[in-house]
Amino acid sequence: MTYINCRCIPEGGVPMSERPPVRNSGTVSKDDFGREVTVKGWVQDVRNLGGISFVILRDRFGIIQIAMPKKKTPPEVFDILTNLPRESVVAVEGTAKESTQAKMGYEVVPNAVEVLSRAASPLPLGVADKVGVEIETRYNNRYLDLRKPEIRAVFEIKSLALDLIDAFLKEKDFIEVFTPKIVASGAEGGATLFPVKYFDKEAYLAQSPQLYKQILMSTGLDQVYEIAPAFRAEPSDTIRHVSEFISFDGEMAFIESQRDVLDLIEGCMQAMIEGVIDRGQKSLELVGAQVNLPRVPYPVLTYSDAVGILASEGMEIQEGEDLGTEGEKLLGEVMSSRGNEMYWIIEYPEASKPFYIMEKDGTPFSHSFDLDYNGQEIASGGQREHRHGRLVERMRKKGLDPSSFEFYLNAFAYGMPPHGGWGLGLERLIQKMLGLANIREAILFPRDRNRLTP
């Protein structure tokens, strides 16, 4: 037999039909007032006011006030609840009552409690306390950090954004695919590859699904997308770089130009952001984010335009050089002053782009683009070189051995339509949309060159 506050419960528990209905802070309604309910959660605070005590119980959806008049509460229930350490997990049975003093408009007067897990004390990190905590302390104790509603709300928004992206692309007849994350070669070059032990072979964690999504363009699966982890061994300690991130990639066949790709991404971003504004208000309020729907159509700047704007602002960049973090930031300030949060930068020098990007014939530029959001690149892509011979030339021009990419090149030798696509860093998008100070705030358990646990 198991005893809960002198209530005898048979082994195996009480049949569900005999238990009070389980409610959470978001589902208790007026219909429950005067009736027995069960609520479960973490003990956020205990307040002992003499003749009456309160326990503030927290669950995913909010808080529940447990009110305990000393003369009307079973003594054993009163003693257990008033002596529990913060963050202990309990199940409380009691009567739901309307309350004008309680934040949720009701309270529960308990008649039984089960301590599901007693928390150790002291806590390594406060949950309800309004005290600043070092970021490393937060990440070392992420299980406690994520109990904070404002921290958890970021991931509720992230989940909603993914649902909205899925819905938009499915409506456009895109197929969701999943490509290998253990690969024999990298799409972006060897310097940022993570080597892994793969039996007796050399292998790497995938930087991108680039080569595989292009192969799929030859199969009849002519519009595909993938939202999955990607890995970059970049030794960068910045607010925008991590070693593992979620990459939102897509590829489209039979395009007329890269403009088709730009239009698709622009529509997707607008639908996603509008949906977050419409359906994520509670979470946005918790985060303290004011999200605006970008003005459409997104302005289109050429790389040369961008260099010229920066020069007019006193930042000299030689034609062909990367705009850099500071250049992107300054350009974002200029574009913001013109009322544009999102904007395209197209026609980058072909020398700065990977082998699979199509050159703009007769120029030093390429059919490529970046999508910038408030001064930070969140996506890049372009039209791909689909002609087998020209693709081999591009590889050699980049110092690559085509024989090392035979699995990829074969798909181009037997009928490959014109195609283009993109790769978008989901956490960068969430960071800029919510105004987060660091990209790690958009990742449950971030990975960088210093952090491998938890």
Determine which of 182-191, 204-213, 274-283, 299-308 has the lowest per-residue pLDDT on average. Answer: 182-191
Please give the Cα distance from 251 to 169 (Å, whole number).
11
* Digit-coded pLDDT (tens) for 60-81: 999 999 999 999 999 999 999 9
**Has residue 59 got a pLDDT over 80?**
yes
pLDDT at site 258: 97
Percent of the chain with pLDDT over 90: 89
Percent of the chain with pLDDT over 70: 95
Domain boundary among 99, 117, 135: 117
φ/ψ (deg, to 5) at 421: -170, -165
User: 310 is written with which tokens?
Assistant: 């920066």
pLDDT at site 17: 56
Please enumerate in sequence order all residues whose Cβ is within 8 A of that of 32, keeping only pairs 6 or more positions apart, or say none: 21, 23, 96, 106
Contact status, residue 395 vs residue 385, Cβ threshold 8 Å: no
Domain for residue 454, yes or no?
Answer: no
**16 and 55, same structural domain?**
yes
Please enumerate in sequence order all residues whose Cβ is within 8 A of that of 146, keeping only pairs 6 or more positions apart, or say none: 152, 155, 444
Please enumerate in sequence order all residues whose Cβ is within 8 A of that of 296, keeping only pairs 6 or more positions apart, or say none: 266, 270
Contact status, residue 211 vs residue 386, Cβ threshold 8 Å: no
**163 and 111, same structural domain?**
no
Domain for residue 390, yes or no?
Answer: yes
* Digit-coded pLDDT (tens) for 140-150: 999 999 999 99
Q: What is the DSSP letter of 295?
A: P
CATH code for the domain of 343: 3.30.930.10
**Has residue 390 got a pLDDT over 80?**
yes
Contact status, residue 158 vs residue 426, Cβ threshold 8 Å: yes
pLDDT band, residue 367 (cuts 50/70/90)? very high
Pairing mode, if any, of strands 2-4 and 7-9?
antiparallel
User: Scanning the structure block, which residue is given the tokens 């918790």?
Assistant: 286
pLDDT at site 429: 98
pLDDT at site 7: 45
User: 453 is written with which tokens?
Assistant: 């646990």
Domain count of the fold of the chain? 2
pLDDT at site 3: 37
pLDDT at site 15: 57
Q: Calculate the average pLDDT of the chain.
A: 94
Contact status, residue 304 vs residue 319, Cβ threshold 8 Å: yes
Domain for residue 136, yes or no?
Answer: no
**Has residue 191 got a pLDDT over 80?**
no
* Digit-coded pLDDT (tens) for 295-354: 999 999 999 999 999 999 999 998 889 999 999 999 999 999 999 999 999 999 999 999
Domain for residue 128, yes or no?
Answer: no
Torsion-angle region of residue 50: left (phi > 0), alpha (psi -120 to 50) or beta? left
**183 and 99, same structural domain?**
no
Average of per-residue pLDDT across 99-119: 94
Please enumerate in sequence order all residues whose Cβ is within 8 A of that of 3, keeping only pairs 6 or more positions apart, or say none: 9
Domain for residue 111, yes or no?
Answer: yes
Domain for residue 133, yes or no?
Answer: no
Residues forming the active site: 232, 234, 240-241, 377, 380, 428
**172 and 212, same structural domain?**
yes
Domain for residue 134, yes or no?
Answer: no
Please enumerate in sequence order all residues whose Cβ is within 8 A of that of 261, keeping only pairs 6 or more positions apart, or say none: 252, 255, 369, 381, 382, 383, 420, 421, 422
Strands (E) in 322-376, as ranges, are 342-346, 368-373
**Has residue 359 got a pLDDT over 60?**
yes
Element (H, E) at 149: helix 149-171
**Has residue 236 got a pLDDT over 90?**
no
Average of per-residue pLDDT across 265-275: 98
Domain for residue 300, yes or no?
Answer: yes
pLDDT at site 14: 56
CATH code for the domain of 89: 2.40.50.140
Average of per-residue pLDDT across 89-93: 98
Average of per-residue pLDDT across 247-275: 98
pLDDT at site 103: 86
Q: Is 313 helix (H, G, I), strand (E, B) or coil?
A: coil
* Digit-coded pLDDT (tens) for 392-418: 999 999 999 999 899 999 999 999 999
**327 and 213, same structural domain?**
yes
User: Cα torsion at 149, 279, 26, 159 (round to 10°)?
Assistant: -50
Average of per-residue pLDDT across 96-116: 94
**Has residue 2 got a pLDDT over 80?**
no
**175 and 88, same structural domain?**
no
pLDDT at site 190: 64
- Distances from the Cα of 5 to the Cα of 12, 103, 107, 108, 110, angstroms: 17, 28, 21, 17, 12
Average of per-residue pLDDT across 343-370: 97
**346 and 262, same structural domain?**
yes
Contact status, residue 139 vs residue 438, Cβ threshold 8 Å: no
pLDDT at site 332: 98
Residue 2's beta-bridge partner residues?
Answer: 9
Fill in the amino acid letter for 409: L
Determine which of 88-92, 404-408, 428-432 has the lowest per-residue pLDDT on average. Answer: 404-408
**420 and 280, same structural domain?**
yes
- Distances from the Cα of 16 to the Cα of 21, 38, 43, angstroms: 8, 12, 25
Fill in the amino acid letter for 302: T
Q: Which domain holds residue 67?
A: 2-117
pLDDT at site 192: 86
**155 and 35, same structural domain?**
no
pLDDT at site 129: 84
* Digit-coded pLDDT (tens) for 18-47: 779 999 999 999 999 999 999 999 999 999
**203 and 110, same structural domain?**
no
Fill in the amino acid letter for 265: I
**101 and 158, same structural domain?**
no
Average of per-residue pLDDT across 186-207: 86
φ/ψ (deg, to 5) at 63: -125, 155
**Has residue 8 got a pLDDT over 60?**
no
Domain boundary among 101, 117, 133: 117
Cis peptide before 297 (omega within 30 of 0): yes
Torsion-angle region of residue 146: left (phi > 0), alpha (psi -120 to 50) or beta? alpha
**110 and 156, same structural domain?**
no
Greater pLDDT, 11 or 161: 161
- Distances from the Cα of 366 to the Cα of 48, 65, 137, 369, angstroms: 70, 62, 45, 9
Q: Which long-range contacts (CB under 8 A, 24 or more apart) does 292-295 make?
A: 292/341, 294/269, 294/270, 294/340, 294/341, 294/342, 295/339, 295/340, 295/341
CB-count exposure of residue 339 (10 Å: 0-12, 13-18, 19+): exposed
- Distances from the Cα of 238 to the Cα of 243, 287, 437, angstroms: 11, 22, 11
- Distances from the Cα of 347 to the Cα of 127, 230, 291, 326, 421, angstroms: 48, 25, 29, 20, 15
